[in-house]
Structure 1
Amino acid sequence: MQPEQAVAADTVIDTALAELAAGEQKWSRLPLAGRRALLDRMRTLTGRHAREWVEAAVRIKGLDPASPLVGEEWLSGPYAFATSLTAVSRTLESLERGVSPLANATFGTAGGRVTVRALPAGLYDELLLSGFRAEVWLQRGVDAVTARAGAGLAQLDPARTHGIGAVLGAGNITSIAPLDTIYELIAHNRVVALKLNPVTDPLLPVFEKIFAPLIELGVVRVLTGGPEVGGQLVRHERVAHVHMTGSAVTHDAIVWGTGPEAAERKKAGTPLLDKPITSELGGVSPTIVLPGEWSTPDLEFQAEHIATQRLHNGGYNCVATQAVIVSADWPQKDAFLAALTAAVDRAPNRHAYYPGSDHRVAGARTSYPDARRLGRGGERLLVAGLDPDTDEALFTSEYFAPVLGIVELPGSGAGFARAAVDTANEKFTGTLGVNIVAHPDTVAALGTEFDTMIERLRYGTVAVNAWTAVGYLTPTASWGAYPGHTLDDVQSGIGVVHNAWLIDGIERTVVRGPFRPAPRSVLHGEWSLTPKPPWFVSNRTAARTGRLLTDFAADPRWTRLPAIFASALRG
């Protein structure tokens, strides 16, 4: 950055933070009803400008506007944001009435912990996500009475604000930065300076329109610029707290600095950053496939499922599956791997838009010269024969690109399940999300061993026969790393976001889905009416279904449901 540019950036940041300091006073005087009205207005604006949002995302990612892949941008963009605004607004309405957001929650127990059912949260969820469930697991020792009393976090005392929070937005999923901004504002009662990732700068005009109610009040400012601007922002004396989404490398550069001095600071435990920081940093996410007796349609569906977990958004997801753990002794292993290879190979082609993607894929090719090159241009890598006892690059480096590894472990039944959990916990960097794919008969046969498997997995979201991204899309679920990470060993980050009920003391979220899509699910005794989910990369009507779901999220009405169902069934 040239000196004159640095001066200009300083001026912009100083002005924004001065305005936020004044806005904080207004926010502290705004009652819960007023805050809720602002969120409701934003939800309306999200619906009004959703198409503009998606069109900007399509241009950023180089998608064909006519491709079904555009559905990813509807679902992971305005749809996710609108559903969250609705859920947070309802939380504020409860608090306004002096009622805990968890007053009517369904509590349970699992693994010696109290749980809160997050999905379904109402009849609409029962219909639109039939067969999907999610539970938030509370940390050990947090009981239902304590959870009800603590739900609401900083909004339990709305007049007590906590300064200015700096949010460094992500460059991949376009709802991350808006969602993190709302969480900082509501859960922590901080006014927000949001710095967009340069990849998403083209979204600035639409974000300014949607956030207009908060911008006009002076409680949100949206900034653009490169790493230098972000660095100036987070170190500004007016900023009280930092939240970021990105890589552990970026996190460490913010906290400790760069170069040899950073290593010395880290060793001495004297961070360069002089304020608290929370983060969501991704990692190497595994999918564990438990052996069972699967039909050919089961093999093909789950192969498409795992291909989606890797290739959604081109592989540029913090919770994209990077390693598949299978049993070497599973009689159907070869058939499954053949189906998975075919699914990865035939998935729609797309532009490698995220910076550094080609370089990271080239690095993987160097590390694994025998990897299979899949896709139209050979841009996807499938790496077989990975040894969990070797320090494999694929286990420790988040490629953030279409690279997928296969790990084979011996055994079957409970023995394989235990070995797979040990591998997932001990060999892979990060704790954001892990997936389990298991036939219902296998789950039943394992019994309590399967429950123990879930309990032992040290991940912030565990998904059974679903992708952990369903947890991301569930506003009342939590999203973040498994608790316990520290600044000097940050792994997948510190803290949680989303969490629309503002629950305190969260350990993880557990998501469950149907093993088969409808109608096969019903024919085989699973109560689920969900066809192939619209987030599958192979869904033919994903764009239309995503648009219809977004319209519904912005303005829920029963009359919108038939069109959604009709589109989903054709997917």
Structure 2
Amino acid sequence: MMSPERDVASECQRLSLAADRWRDVSPDERADLAMRTAQSIGCEAGAWVRAAVAMKSVGPDGQDACTDRLRPVLQAEECATGPIATLRLLFLTAQALRSIGKTGVPEVSVGPRMTHGQNQIHESPFGSPSSFVAVDVLPVRRLYDPTIFRGYRATVRCANTGSVETFMKLWQEECQQRPVSEGVAVVLGAGNVTGLAAADAVSQIFEHGRAVLLKLHPVQSSLAPVFRAALKPLVEAGLLSVVVGGAALVTDAISAQEVTAMHLTGGEETFRNVVSSNKKKLLTKSITCELGNVTPWVIVPGNYSEKDLFFQADQIAASIANNSSFNCIATKVVLTSRSWPQRQQFLGRIEQRLESLPARPVWYPGAVDLHQNATGDSVSNGCLQPKLFRDVHRESHPHWFAREWFIPSAVETTVEGESIDDFCVAVSQIVHDLPGNLAASVTRPDGMATHDESRVELLIEHMRYGVVAVNTWSALAYAVANVPWGGFPGGTIESPESGLGYVHNPCFLPLVHNTILRSPLRVWPMPPWFPWHGKGGRLTEGVAEMYSAITAGKSGIWNLVRMLPDVFRG
């Protein structure tokens, strides 16, 4: 805890001196620090996961309510969203910095190219541009993505600069200028996912060249020693200070003249309170934020095989159950066609999966009251089971569509129309009216007629979201760590939507419009983040060990091989 005002001021001064030194550090030296930090995280991964699981095992009464059946599920989730995500971000950051030192820009999966959208076939309902500079950032071969994320492709779409040559020039300038932003950033960490605060700090240090005063969310205050140990190389370099405290500490930090930026990950209400309480002091500072979303998942009607249908249903069930839906991109609205013949079978599979899962402690503050307000049902024993409510419409239940509910519940709503054209028009309007523009998912069948496929592609290309995920949960775009993560461009301080600016842009891509993440309809092996995966905990631990080995200069291949038995048994 840092209580005296002078302590905050002196800490910001100390950080500012380190930021000044950081400006003169070469890309290769910065890469070395990123790799040392990744190795430190690898050493502390077990402690990180144990602390996170303990935090999320406590019910509203303060007692441990985690069952033996639930514990390995939490271990898998916390390892994936904590150590693994941060390890991956640091490795990719180091790789990008080393490439910048050699060639001026990072190495990517597929280099910049001009692409053209579907406007020639259909007019966009929202007037988005029809051409972009596209850059593929996934797969990353050095991290065995062709095996772990087999069939996935992430394409970052940047604003049309007129030519690839012009874009390359802007990209090189961005790689030189952005990492020397100078000063100190106050990072206000989120409380829902333990990896978010660490990643936000890493982004500020390496992508913007700032030192960071990281104030943890009160829910995560017990993890402060873990973060200090895991991020020890950054702390020892004077570039990071991990603190806990309340609103007074935030005000004192923002008031410091050494502070040049503030980043917040959390809810819009929290963001507005921080801004309104510190309005004059923030006028001269860079402000970025990530604020969440009422996340839609659109199911394009068609003829799916049973295996494909069930895998897509399983993904949606897992996206609702994951972290008790205390995620800014937990699925909240599932959109289907009322006339789709496979609708009942699809929804039945989602419900079957959710009903099979153990109830989880309601550990996030305020969730008990939120659940009662949203559903009308009370919480018994301090635990909740994830649930999907069928056939819910805005006209009769507007509250589900008006805000992001931080509870393990989602709704399914139907649209009318016999044709794909009608479906896409209706869905576009519903999705456009939902609060937020962070991320969305679309499931589409294979083997569509040419016209229908073009119409669905138009829908995908013109959805106003920072990430549009096709056939997969949009959270994977955050997990891969090199997809720029933030709301769709256009937010303002007064109307931030899902946020301002981006985190997770280690490739320093300029003029980012959004990203389209694509996946096959069905992937094998079963993703370890599925909560019914029998070996999810062991596999996520294995991936963390593999990434840690790679950051230590090893190939990681034997770590991958050792995971194979659990892959087949999952």
Give the TM-score of the pair, scaled to structure 1.
0.88
Distance in 2, Cα, partners of 1:307 & 1:331: 20
Matched, 1:212 2:232: yes
Q: What code does the residue aligned with 1:471 have? A: A
Deviation of 1:194 (Å): 0.8
Counterpart in 1 of 2:140? 121
Counterpart in 2 of 1:333? 343
Q: What code does the residue aligned with 1:417 have? A: C
SS of 1:479's partner is coil
Q: Deviations over 1:275-333 (max 9, x none)?
A: 23100000100000111123333333222210111111110100111010010111121
User: Within 5 Å, which residues of 2 pair with 1:389-400?
Assistant: 392-400=398-406
Q: What code does the residue aligned with 2:96 have? A: T
Counterpart in 2 of 1:438? 444
Counterpart in 2 of 1:523? none
The 8 Å contact of residues 108 and 136 in structure 2, kept in 1 or not, is answered as: no
Distance in 2, Cα, partners of 1:288 & 1:374: 32
Q: What code does the residue aligned with 1:180 have? A: D
Distance in 1, Cα, partners of 2:303 & 2:525: 22
Q: Deviations over 1:408-457 (max 9, x none)?
A: 1012423202221221112x100011011122124866222122111120
Counterpart in 2 of 1:552? 546
Distance in 1, Cα, partners of 2:33 & 2:239: 11
Distance in 2, Cα, partners of 1:254 & 1:182: 22
Distance in 2, Cα, partners of 1:238 & 1:207: 23
Distance in 2, Cα, partners of 1:153 & 1:78: 32
Matched, 1:403 2:403: no
Q: What code does the residue aligned with 2:190 have? A: A
Distance in 1, Cα, partners of 2:116 & 2:477: 18
Distance in 1, Cα, partners of 2:390 & 2:147: 39
Q: Deviations over 1:241-274 (max 9, x none)?
A: 101100010111111239xxxxxx9xxxx89755
| Distance 1:159-1:311 versus aligned 2 partners, 3 A rule | closer
| Distance 1:336-1:203 versus aligned 2 partners, 3 A rule | same
Matched, 1:535 2:535: no
The 8 Å contact of residues 198 and 224 in structure 1, kept in 2 or not, is answered as: yes
The 8 Å contact of residues 153 and 187 in structure 1, kept in 2 or not, is answered as: no
User: Within 5 Å, which residues of 2 pair with 1:24-423?
Assistant: 24-62=19-57, 63=66, 66-102=71-107, 105-108=110-113, 109-111=115-117, 112-122=131-141, 124-141=144-161, 143-151=163-171, 155-157=175-177, 160-257=180-277, 274-366=284-376, 379-388=385-394, 392-411=398-417, 412-423=419-430
Q: 1:465 aligns with which of 471, 476, 480?
A: 471
Matched, 1:10 2:9: no
Q: Deviations over 1:18-68 (max 9, x none)?
A: 111221222123222221111111111111111011111111111557523
Moved more, 478-487 or 33-42: 33-42
Q: What code does the residue aligned with 1:532 have? A: M
Distance in 2, Cα, partners of 1:166 & 1:352: 29
| Distance 1:271-1:210 versus aligned 2 partners, 3 A rule | closer
Moved more, 36-45 or 389-398: 389-398
| Distance 1:153-1:342 versus aligned 2 partners, 3 A rule | farther
Distance in 2, Cα, partners of 1:235 & 1:159: 23
The 8 Å contact of residues 421 and 457 in structure 1, kept in 2 or not, is answered as: yes
Deviation of 1:343 (Å): 1.9
The 8 Å contact of residues 325 and 407 in structure 2, kept in 1 or not, is answered as: yes
Moved more, 274-283 or 544-553: 274-283
Matched, 1:502 2:508: yes
Q: What code does the residue aligned with 1:216 have? A: E
Percent of matched pairs sharing the same residue:
29
Distance in 1, Cα, partners of 2:245 & 2:382: 35
Q: What code does the residue aligned with 1:297 have? A: K
Distance in 1, Cα, partners of 2:538 & 2:38: 20
Q: What code does the residue aligned with 2:217 have? A: N
SS of 1:452's partner is helix
Counterpart in 1 of 2:569? 570
Distance in 1, Cα, partners of 2:384 & 2:318: 17
Distance in 1, Cα, partners of 2:498 & 2:67: 32
The 8 Å contact of residues 247 and 282 in structure 1, kept in 2 or not, is answered as: yes
The 8 Å contact of residues 470 and 518 in structure 2, kept in 1 or not, is answered as: yes
The 8 Å contact of residues 108 and 135 in structure 2, kept in 1 or not, is answered as: no
Distance in 2, Cα, partners of 1:419 & 1:456: 14
The 8 Å contact of residues 384 and 408 in structure 2, kept in 1 or not, is answered as: no
Q: Deviations over 1:143-164 (max 9, x none)?
A: 4334433336765148944211
Q: What code does the residue aligned with 1:275 have? A: K
Give the TM-score of the pair, scaled to structure 2.
0.89
| Distance 1:161-1:337 versus aligned 2 partners, 3 A rule | closer
Q: What code does the residue aligned with 2:205 have? A: L
| Distance 1:52-1:150 versus aligned 2 partners, 3 A rule | farther
Q: Deviations over 1:456-503 (max 9, x none)?
A: 200001001110011001122111100101111111011111012111
The 8 Å contact of residues 362 and 383 in structure 2, kept in 1 or not, is answered as: no
Counterpart in 2 of 1:261? none
Give the alignment's Cα RMSD to 1 decimal. Answer: 2.6
Counterpart in 2 of 1:526? none
| Distance 1:153-1:402 versus aligned 2 partners, 3 A rule | farther
The 8 Å contact of residues 310 and 321 in structure 1, kept in 2 or not, is answered as: yes
The 8 Å contact of residues 24 and 163 in structure 1, kept in 2 or not, is answered as: yes
| Distance 1:377-1:494 versus aligned 2 partners, 3 A rule | closer
Moved more, 205-214 or 465-474: 205-214
SS of 1:151's partner is helix
| Distance 1:273-1:399 versus aligned 2 partners, 3 A rule | farther
| Distance 1:273-1:536 versus aligned 2 partners, 3 A rule | farther
Counterpart in 2 of 1:455? 461
Unaligned runs of 5+ in 1: 259-264, 518-529
Distance in 2, Cα, partners of 1:463 & 1:443: 21
Distance in 2, Cα, partners of 1:153 & 1:45: 32
Question: How many aligned residue pairs are there?
Answer: 539
Deviation of 1:179 (Å): 1.0
Distance in 1, Cα, partners of 2:502 & 2:180: 21
| Distance 1:374-1:507 versus aligned 2 partners, 3 A rule | farther
